[in-house]
Amino acid sequence: MKVVIGQGSCGIATGAKKTENAFTEQIKKHNVDVELTVTGCVGTCYLEPIVDVYEDDGKLTRYVKVQPDKVEKIVEEHLKGGKIVSDYAIDVEDQQFLAKQERVVLRHCGLINPEIIDEYIAVGGYESSRKVLTSMTQDEVIDIIKTSNLRGRGGAGFPTWFKWNAAKGNLGKEKYIVCNADEGDPGAFMDRSVLEGDPHSLLEGMIIGGFAMGATEGIIYCRAEYPLAIKRLEIAMEQAREKGFLGDNIFGTGKHFDIRIKAGAGAFVCGEETALIASLEGERGMPRLKPPFPAAKGYWQLPTNINNVETFANVAWIIENGGEAFAKLGKGPSTGTKVFALAGKIKKGGLVEVPMGLSVKDVIFNIGGGIKNDRKFKAVQMGGPSGGCIPADISETPVTYEDIVKTGAIVGSGGMIVMDEDTCMVDMARYFLDFTKKESCGKCNYCRIGTKRMLEILERITQGKGEDGDIEKLEELANKIKDGSMCGLGQTAPNPVLSTIRYFRNEYEDHIYNHTCTAKSCKALIRYEIKDNCVGCTRCAKNCPVQAITGEVKGKHVIDQSICIKCGKCEDNCNFGAVVRI
């Protein structure tokens, strides 16, 4: 029997280390003969800490939200007594979260120990790279990737085979293959999960890609804010070297290929490939004009190819199953699967992997379980700060590169931030623009100054100080920033603003002309009042941090608007619906 505890960042954050310690203690106390091990995130982040119990015949029982106080009962009744503790086990509805997915990138996440290479090898790991290195040509590998039509999963959706082929065709005394693991979108954690849960799939993809383009060195550019990912990558690389999969004479072929890690400082702009290369070279992360493209002159002016984590994690599966099998997944030119991070006002937050072509609505409701507290679905922000808002009334849009861009958003790296009726779309646009303004490298005047001017207008609007013509000013600035910026950060920074104006213009107009927040969210435009059905329980007064509420016990209470800081604690603590936002 084996007990596996999910220890991705999400599991650890919810107490998985304490759960592991409790299992160690209880297993010893009850003298139970079981193997205790760890794994990465299986995707159901909302159910962490997760504990999987495997019987000797392979039967799996999954326990969810396992805090230390639940451990002794599991050990006593299940591990020792052979009886499943049904109260702690995952229910049928939550099982559907995984059952409705098609997992390629995440196929091993949550199932193997990422720190033990033999577990990866046991599920077919490194067989694809062995096959490529020992029996295939560079052109044959590129042809398979071309047949699959694998496109870059970092945002732009550029054909992977084309980039590999371009780097292959350029001469250089050295060539480099780089993994962009600088995942910086708010609400996105797809790459982190792969790095923490299945690092060898990334290494194998880079080995194959390196062979295809003729590179001898690979570099993983990973943000320093991912310490667990870096730790598991380092372990994986060392184990791969010991097995002869990295270093000199890999797979006994006489070829050399090795990989190293460069920890980045978390600059969002370094997600742009030329800025990333500048950072690798020890310079400030700032983009440069293209051409020349990195495939011709990249790292140290030598041929360089850059793909992100998710792109590389598809490669071994494609080599194993064939390009046609991958191309059958998805819709039209958007082939394969895509990993999405579901966050925000959604019931089942976590990672999902689905064939491209599924509708936005299907992902949110059929897999993500719908909106938290059964509130009304309003919109979803796709593509992070570079993306845009897709409103509920067009949520039947298929998730493909071609269809999503028509809405004013982008697929991006795969972040989906779900919003309900209480979300102010003007404030949401302000939030994302604040992020991109801070992350601008400052090289382009339009990006550096234009985003600041746009943010100032949005801040005025959310504070109830909007002016006639502000919407038109935002649109004018947005278009100039898109046209005048050098790199993708500036060119896409206005997208959240433009898409919210496009679909929620009425909310901008309410803020400016009626001095009201449609969602009753912006503090400067709301107030709290106590209705006549107040029973005088005093809960609101006791929880008010500034003593703005007065009234007698069993008598109607009143809020002093001159003192109220609009924190909302009175509304949160009222059990009778007597406190309302206006």
Average pLDDT over residues 484-509: 95
Rounded Cα gap, residues 346 and 109, in angstroms? 22
Write down the pLDDT at residue 184: 84
Helix, strand, or coil here: 2?
strand
Average pLDDT over residues 225-229: 95
Contact 295, 268 (CB under 8 A): no
Write down the pLDDT at residue 386: 86
Average pLDDT over residues 193-209: 98
Write down the pLDDT at residue 449: 96
Contact 47, 65 (CB under 8 A): yes
**The token pair that represents 436 in the structure block:** 């991109």
User: Is pLDDT above 80 for 156?
Assistant: no
Q: For 414-450, what is each residue's pLDDT tens digit?
A: 899 999 999 999 999 999 999 999 999 999 999 999 9
Task: Say which range, 156-160, 336-340, 388-392, has the weakest mean pLDDT.
Answer: 156-160
Write down the pLDDT at residue 188: 87
Average pLDDT over residues 136-161: 94
What number of H helices and E strands is found in the chain? Answer: 24, 19
Write down the pLDDT at residue 384: 86
Write down the pLDDT at residue 251: 97
Cα-Cα-Cα-Cα dihedral of 118, 120, 126, 127, to 10°? 90
pTM for the model? 0.93
Q: For 569-582, what is each residue's pLDDT tens digit?
A: 999 999 999 999 99
Q: How confident is the model at residue 78 (pLDDT cuts 50, 70, 90)?
A: very high
Cα-Cα-Cα-Cα dihedral of 331, 337, 338, 342, to 10°? 100
Handedness of CA 513, 516, 518, 522 (dihedral sign): positive
Average pLDDT over residues 467-494: 95
CB burial readout 136-161, b (16+ within 10 A) else e: beeeebbbbbbbbbbbbbbbebebbb
Q: For 539-565, what is each residue's pLDDT tens digit?
A: 999 999 999 999 999 999 999 999 999
Rounded Cα gap, residues 365 and 369, in angstroms? 5
Average per-residue pLDDT for the chain: 95
Write down the pLDDT at residue 117: 98
User: Is pLDDT above 90 for 352?
Assistant: yes
Length of the chain, please? Answer: 582
Q: For 115-132, what is each residue's pLDDT tens digit?
A: 999 999 999 999 999 999
Q: How confident is the model at residue 230 (pLDDT cuts 50, 70, 90)?
A: very high
Write down the pLDDT at residue 262: 96
Write down the pLDDT at residue 270: 93
Task: Say which range, 141-145, 156-160, 552-556, has the weakest mean pLDDT.
Answer: 156-160
- What residues does 53 pair with on adjacent strands? 3, 61
User: Is pLDDT above 90 for 242?
Assistant: yes
Rounded Cα gap, residues 79 and 75, in angstroms? 5
Q: How confident is the model at residue 187 (pLDDT cuts 50, 70, 90)?
A: confident
Write down the pLDDT at residue 422: 93
Q: How confident is the model at residue 172 (pLDDT cuts 50, 70, 90)?
A: confident
Residue type, 345: K
Q: How confident is the model at residue 185 (pLDDT cuts 50, 70, 90)?
A: confident
DSSP string spanning 282-324? TS------SSSPTTTS-GGGS-EEEEEHHHHHHHHHHHHH-HH
**The token pair that represents 110 in the structure block:** 């949550």
CB burial readout 330-363, b (16+ within 10 A) else e: beeebbbbbbbbbbbbbbbbbbbbbbbbbbbbbb
Q: How confident is the model at residue 412 (pLDDT cuts 50, 70, 90)?
A: confident
Q: Which residues contact 469 (CB under 8 A, 6 or more apart)?
A: none
Rounded Cα gap, residues 501 and 426, in angstroms? 8
